[in-house]
Amino acid sequence: MESTLNRLSVAGLTLGAVLGLFGTFVTQRSVQAVAWEIDGTALVVAGSLLALKFSRKGSDIVAGGFLVFAMGSAVMLVGAATSLVASAPSFGAGAALWTAGLLLIGSQRGFALGVRLIGLAAAVLFGITATLIFWGSDVLPTSSPLPFFAYPLLVATFACWIWSLLREPAPSK
């Protein structure tokens, strides 16, 4: 059961990382929207499954962090099919939830310190992005420098989570 949960979580995080970045770089809006649709859905699934995993392990703060992160991904899905300008409010709300989720996950010892520090750095950048959007700045999901430079840190965090999940020993029968 645990190995299936890990495999599904790895698949969701991988899809989220690859299609999230792809959607940031592609210029055709319909292709971008579909990439972000799959990315967001995969991250909701992965975050929910990881919440179950860490809750079972007794790491409720980490589990809560993954739930909040999944909620942020779900909120971002609301704007994925709209124009970039129209998606800014849901992106800002999702970025705020990503920030909170990453802070919760990184505040505990569910992952190695280096992994947590990368996630915390991503949280700071997404937190600034969310604040700028709520402050009224014209920040889009593809704006540079933020959130554009926050995405690589988020993907690096996903890669570290994936590595950690893949390195777990197989459960004994």
pTM, two decimal places: 0.94
Q: How far is CA 31 from the centre of its chain?
A: 20
In a domain? residue 67: yes
In a domain? residue 172: no
In a domain? residue 161: yes
As a whole number of Å, the end-to-end CA separation of the chain is 11
Domain count across the chain = 1
Instruction: Report pLDDT digits (tens) over 88-98.
Output: 999 999 999 99
The C-alpha atoms of residue 139 and residue 55 are separated, in whole angstroms, by: 35
In a domain? residue 173: no
Q: How high does pLDDT run on average in the chain?
A: 95
In a domain? residue 45: yes
pLDDT score for 169: 82
Domain that holds residue 118: 2-167
Structure-block tokens of residue 152: 């690589």
In a domain? residue 145: yes
